[in-house]
Structures are given as C-alpha cells and as structure tokens.
Chain A
Amino acid sequence: MNHQELRDLAAMYALGGLDGEERARFEALLRSGDPDATAALSEFEGDLLTLARDTAEAPPPSVKAELMARIAAEARHDAPSAEAPAIRRRRVLWPAVWAAVMAAGIAAVAVGVLVSASYETRLAALARESTALRADIERQQQIIALLRDPATEMVALSGLEPSPSARARMIWNSQAGGLLVAAGLPPTPEGKTYQLWAIAGKNAPVPAGVFAVDATGKGSLRVPPLGGMGKVDVFAVTLEPAGGLPAPSGQMYLAGKS
C-alpha cells in the first residue's frame, strides 16, 4: 500500500465510513502501532474536530438545567463512591446508622419524585415524537401524490437583491396545491414572516401562505389549491409583517416564472 492509499484509508476511517476488508486491514495497522497510520488518523480526526467547532450551535438552556437536576438527584441517591472515605473503624455507631437509614429513606422519596418526573418528561417527549411522526407521514404521502401527478410542475425561484444566494423550488399542481421548499434565506427577523405570492398575468398577486426559516435558512410551506386561480405565471416570496398581508408591501426575496 502506498502513502496516498494509506491516507485515503485513514481519512475514510476517521469519517467512520471504512468498511469490509479495508477496515480490518487499517485496524490491524493501528493495533500494530504503525506510525504512518496512527499519524494520518490523528491528523484527519483533528480536521473533524475543526469541522465540529465550525458547526457549533448553542443548545437550549433547558438541556443543561435538566442534566444538572438529574445529577443532583443522583448525588442524593448515592454520594460519589470515589470520595467515600475508607472505613477504618470496626466499631459501628448505631445512632449514626439509624440517622443514615432515615436520611436514605428521605432521599429515596426525593429520588422517586424526581425519577417519576423524569419519566413524565420522557413520556411527553415520546408523545411529541409520535405526533410529529404522524404529521410527517401524512406530509410525505401528500408529497408523493403530488410528485406522481403528471400535471405537477416544478418552478425554480431565484434569490433577488436582499439575498441573491437564496434558492427555492415550488412543486405546483393547480388542482392539488403544492409545496415550496426554500434554502439560503436570511433568518426571519422578529415580527416578520416570509409570504408566498402567486401571480397570474397582469392580475394582483394572490397570497399563498406564510412561512419562517430555520437557523440554516431553510423553510418549507404547504400551499393549498388557490381556488379560482387559473394558471400561475409567477411565484414570488416577500418579507412581510408577522401574519402576512392581503397584498405585498415588503421587499421581494425570491421569484420564479413557471
């Protein structure tokens, strides 16, 4: 194996994607302490840490709060054994034992309360998950039906002045409605919303729904069929006050002709 091949293996191993016989071969090299393999691997692992630092995102404060509460609950349950002093004396002080038993009983109740609270949190999370799952499946079926319909067309929207790098696709079917998928939009400012418009010929734009984007600038919008509207010539997205308006007032971020 030449140097370049070894580095290819190390890079893929660091990414977690090395498989089959090559994985076995590379792991054997690592086990044997091969200096080139070890050095290449730690080099690429370093790159991935850099990548991780680059994608940092502040977690919601609730995560830390829950963790600290969980740790506090555990500490009450069993004090860290590493810090427990070694038992030197054989003589046992019974009152102290009783006090400890009582304290343990109280602690057990406290832990019970906390544990049940944590199960409730978990159950609520599961319920949320299953609701989201059902909604996802429904959405997925609608999208598939839409994509299967030969009358469905795909309209590309390009970014305009305020966000030239934004892009979107409108999957549109005049009978069934459609789906807008946008990427690269600036985060929605406080009190504002993105609003989609459908325009036919020289007529006034028809409001087609509002949406927000996530931290990565992506957003999507299910659009119902726009009753009474024939062929749509242009789809456009503007930034409007929260809730949207009956007619566009803000700057246009995306537009595309069908």
Chain B
Amino acid sequence: MPSTGASPEDPGALVARIARGDREAFSRLYDAYAGPAFGLIRRVLRDPEASKDVLQEVFWQVWREAARYDPGRASPEAWILMRAKSRAIDRLRSMRRRDRTFVTAVDDSVARAAETGDDPPALVADRGLVERGLDRLPDAQRRVIELAFFEGLTQSEIAARLGEPLGTVKTRARLGLERLRSLLGGGRPSTT
C-alpha cells in the first residue's frame, strides 16, 4: 500500500482533516459511510426514528473523536461501522429493557415463520437490496449471525435460544461468515 500521495478521498486523510476541524472533510466522510452505517443500524433497530438518532450520534462522535482515531487499529470504515453497530445494539438493549421489542419479537417471529415455512429457497429471489447477501445463507447459519451481530446476543445466549450445543453455534458462525464472503465476492483485505 503506498502511504504517500493520498488522494483527497482517502478516508484516513479525511479523518485526519476532521481532527483539525475540517467540515468539508467531515461531509465527505459522512457521504461515504452513512449509507452502510444506517443500513446496519436499521437492521438492528428497525425503528426509523431511533435509527436516525443513533446515526446522528455515531457521526457526532466521529466529529468529536477524530483526533483519537488510531489508523493502526482499524480502517476508518471499520472504525465507523463497528461503532454504528455497537451504538445500535446499546440502544436496542435499552429499548428492550423497556419491553418495547417484545412487539417486534412477536411480529418478527410470525413473519419469520411465514418466511421460512414452506419452501425457503424460493424466498431468496426478489427481496430487494437490504437483505440480499445474508438471505442466501443456509437458515441455521443466518440465524446465528443475525442473533450475534444484529441483536447483540452472546454465544451462550444463542445456544440457549436455539437449543443447540455451544460448539455448533460457533462453527455455524464461522461457516456462515466464510460462506458470506464467497457469496458477496468479499475476500478483500480488511485493512487498507
């Protein structure tokens, strides 16, 4: 990776400029990553108002904490998206504490039963962009990834919820991620 001659769109350079109070750089960084960040948050929270709040909170922290960004630890993309995910899960937990997601859970389990009831393979078609890649995973692998990544459950909680041994849960998570990589044509290095 060449470290010199960074273009103005180099995300690392944008973060460095943001750390110096450059609003234009912030605007560009936002445009680059707000989409995936919002998609992640929406997957976790579903509620559009809460998702907007969390997105704003995440990018506000990006603005405030850009000076503390350590390029050695994560790419700017990973730094932003993982923050988006964990803030969304924090919010989900506080909403859950207020019993709120029970409704979503009832609705979802019914909708999910409808989705996976009769002939799952047919469902892959035509679901729009939002769930494309994940939906192509075998059900058992998809569930583990969703519960851990989008709902913030630990492996023990997942094992209890699904009534499966812990080892099975872990292996499914790994197989699922590996499968996802080949499905989404990933395999890109995670850091720049």
Question: What is A's interface to B at a CB cutoff of 8 Å?
Answer: 7-12, 14-20, 22, 42-60, 62-64, 66-68, 70-72, 75, 79-80, 82-83, 125, 128-129, 132-133, 136-137, 139-140, 143-144, 156-158, 163-165, 167-169, 171, 179, 181-184, 186-187, 215-218, 220
Contacts and interface: CB of A to CB of B under 8 A. Distances in A.
B174 A75 contact: no
Interface residues of B, number: 92
A16 B44 CA distance: 14
A57 B107 contact: no
A53 B30 contact: no
Nearest to A81: B21
Main secondary structure of the interface of A (DSSP, over half): helix
Given A49-B78, A133-B98, A167-B114, A63 B130 contact: no
Contacts of B82: 45, 48
Given A49-B77, A128-B49, A56 B190 contact: no
A95 B65 CA distance: 35
A129 B184 contact: no
Contacts of A218: 111
26 contacts: A8-B174, A12-B169, A17-B173, A18-B154, A19-B156, A44-B177, A46-B189, A48-B81, A49-B75, A50-B184, A51-B133, A51-B149, A52-B81, A54-B132, A56-B35, A57-B42, A58-B35, A64-B27, A64-B30, A67-B30, A125-B49, A129-B49, A156-B118, A167-B115, A186-B126, A216-B127
A12 B155 contact: yes
A17 B127 contact: no
A56 B131 CA distance: 10
Contact of A63 (B26, B34, B81, B191): B34
B17 to A, nearest CB: 11
A192 to B, nearest CB: 17
A215 B128 contact: yes
Contacts of B39: 52, 55-57
Contacts of B131: 55, 216
Q: Which 5 A/B pairs are nearest by Cβ-Cβ distance?
A: A80-B21, A46-B190, A17-B148, A11-B174, A55-B39
Contact of A169 (B89, B114, B152): B114
A60 B173 contact: no
Given A54-B184, A164-B122, A181 B107 contact: yes
Contacts of A56: 35-36, 38-39, 129
B111 A181 contact: yes
